[in-house]
Amino acid sequence: MKLPLFASCLSGALLTGGIAFAHHGWGSYDATRLMTITGNVERADWQNPHVLVVVPYQGKSWEAVLAPPFRMNARGLEPDLIKPGTQVRLEGYPSTRTATEMRAERISVSGKTYELR
């Protein structure tokens, strides 16, 4: 009887740990270097824990980490507004760990700017 309980607890701990690991903190972004990227969305992943968009910049595909989906919706930004091919302007901070990743603070789409934090 104790073994199944232990196995259940261990499984729960591993699952929770994996989720926590997948959701990173913001300490790995250089908040002293504000950067701006303008380009057409190559890919958009509307999923938890954060919405991601990929935009070309200086010959490379940059991944921009946006706000969680519920916050994007609350700000009036819906998935169909940032589908592939849509031109966006992203302002945010580059990653200190990944050369082509940024944390977006705001996104401009169709002449409207959305604050993400």
CATH of the domain at 63: 2.40.50.140
* Contact between residue 105 and residue 91 where contact means Cβ atoms under 8 Å apart: yes
CA 44, CA 33: separation in Å to the nearest integer? 24
Q: How many domains does the chain have?
A: 1
Does residue 68 fall inside a structural domain?
A: yes
% of the chain surpassing 90 pLDDT? 75
In a domain, 6, yes or no: no
Q: Which helix (H) or strand (E) segment is 18 a member of?
A: helix 2-22
Residue 32 in any domain: the answer is yes
Answer whether 0.85 is exceeded by the pTM: no
Tens digits of residue pLDDT in 12-31: 544 444 444 444 566 799 99
Helix (H/G/I), strand (E/B), else coil: 44:
strand
